[in-house]
Every structure is written in C-alpha cells, then in structure tokens.
Amino acid sequence: MSLVPSPGQLYGDILYFAIEARAGWTHSDPRPFYFWGYFVGLNGVWVLVPGLLLLDACQQLATAQRAQDRHRPKAH
C-alpha cells in the first residue's frame, strides 16, 4: 500500500526544494537546461509518482468506505 510512504516522500521532496530555494539555488547548476531538465524535471518525478500513488490510495479508501457504509445495518 502506498499510503504511508507517499506522504513521507512528498515531505522529503518539499524540504529538499525548500532548503535549496532558501539557499538561493547555490547547489544547482545555473544553466537553464540543467536547472529545469535535471534539477526540476528529474526531481519532479519524485513528487509526481508519490502524489499519484497517494491520490490512488485515497480514492480506493473512499470507495471501500462507501461500500462499507452501504452494507451497514441501520440501528433503530
């Protein structure tokens, strides 16, 4: 199940980008191709994939909860 690792991965990615932005992008190559291609593009995969897995897990949990709620007997 991807529900637990995905938020942790996203948290790490946000910290990675935030720390680099706060440092003024000093650890990244200033050339546009390398910055956007490598730093943003390739690291963006680490944001996109966990984000999609987290979305899928939430949708599956919501579907399962709706199915469970439909079959619950009503208390009188």
- Number of domains the chain is built from: 1
In a domain, 62, yes or no: yes
Tokens standing for residue 35: 């910055």
Give a yes or no: residue 1 inside a domain.
no
Burial class of residue 17 (count of CB atoms within 10 Å of its CB; 0-12, 13-18, 19+): middle
The two tokens of residue 3 are 């529900």
Interval 45-66: pLDDT, tens: 888 888 888 889 889 999 999 9
Whether 2 is in a domain gets the answer no
Please give the residue range of the domain that contains residue 61.
7-70
Considering the chain, what is the average pLDDT of its residues? 85
